[in-house]
Amino acid sequence: MHKIKSILSHIAGAASSAARYAQNLVDAPAVVLLYHRVFDSKNDPELLCVSNDNFSEQIKYLKKKFSVLTAGEFSDTLCRAAKFNKGSILITFDDGYRDNFANALPVLEGNGLQAIFFTATANIDKPDLFFWDELSAIFGHIAAVGLRALEIEFGGTKFTYRFDSAEASAGSYLRIHRELKYSKELTRAAFMMKLRAVCGFDLKSAPVEVREARMMTSAELKKMSESGAAVIGAHTHTHTPLSVYGFNEQYTDISLSKGILEKITGLGIEYFSYPFGSLEDYDSASVEICRELGFKLAFSNFYWQCHRWTDRYQVPRMLVRNWDIEVFKNRLDKFFAR
């Protein structure tokens, strides 16, 4: 079965590459890069962190070899359905981590480049973390204290999670992560509160690296918005997959983040990215709301390049991992092949 899946994966990959190649023959592509964090992390199960050294090398390479567009240049080209210049790149960041301000922004400023920083707003000016960052820290705590299993009764159901082997622990992590990801904010917060209590975890006592995963403050966001290297974009208030919500809840979550960021920065917020961003994480209502709220562009998180016919409310992006420069070059070459 594994061999069959591997063969099917190779076939799908080859078909996707052929489709991208064919489109590139007709129209020069642009690629939107998606980063999350620039941080030298020792524990990164979600693979969101790019090290400071790798990020610096990647940005220097982009500046040297590509046409890195500002948000305005990219938006103007796509909204006019015009052709992108050869080698066009747009840099984006999702979530609003503090290291975007502390580590990424100075590198962009030093190289004269710009990025859009999409920021979820619920944890601005708070020490609270995104659920996946706290969940990772809790699992580190569980390993440290030698907990082998735990039971949580929640919503009338008893959940059992095992940690007596690396495989069991990884399976438990993935189960909890998916349950929390597709829960609404209040349900997610209540579950995390119970999980902390059951395993005796206190964020205030967590290692510094864990607590460094906090969001930017209002002051940091304001200062970032004043830099020519940054444009602030909205990313909802609660960072919940919008497909979990009905129309009215989606509208509130999106518009609230837009309003908070406009109040902090004193600027209009013209760009949006869908939390998580895969095609199962938002729906047609999400797209309609982005149009209604006047966003120029909305960005997804599925693997493809942009062309003049790309839907400006479903702009695809290439997720960047902690790649050294040779791997980074290779990944980009696959998009620009023609």
- In order of 15, 45, 121, 135, 190, the CA distances from 195 in angstroms are 44, 19, 24, 9, 9
- In order of 159, 165, 215, the CA distances from 261 in angstroms are 38, 44, 13
Which H or E run includes 96? none
pLDDT in tens, 310-335: 999 999 999 999 999 999 999 999 88
Q: 85 near 74, Cβ under 8 Å?
A: no
User: What is the number of residues in the chain?
Assistant: 338
Q: 88 near 332, Cβ under 8 Å?
A: no
The pLDDT value recorded for residue 159 is 85
131 three-class SS: helix
pTM, full prediction: 0.92
What mean pLDDT is predicted for residues 27-50?
Answer: 93
Q: 27 near 307, Cβ under 8 Å?
A: yes
> Please, where are the H alpha helices in 200-246?
208-211, 218-225
For residue 9, pLDDT beyond 90 = no
What mean pLDDT is predicted for residues 142-168?
Answer: 88
| Placement of tokens 């984006």 in the chain | 92
| Placement of tokens 């609003």 in the chain | 96
For 294: left if phi > 0, alpha if psi spans -120 to 50, otherwise beta; the answer is: left
The pLDDT value recorded for residue 20 is 60
177 three-class SS: helix
What mean pLDDT is predicted for residues 270-280?
Answer: 97
The pLDDT value recorded for residue 327 is 97
The pLDDT value recorded for residue 12 is 37
Task: Give 203 or 156, the one with higher predicted confidence.
Answer: 203
The pLDDT value recorded for residue 13 is 43
For residue 83, pLDDT beyond 90 = yes
For residue 63, pLDDT beyond 90 = yes
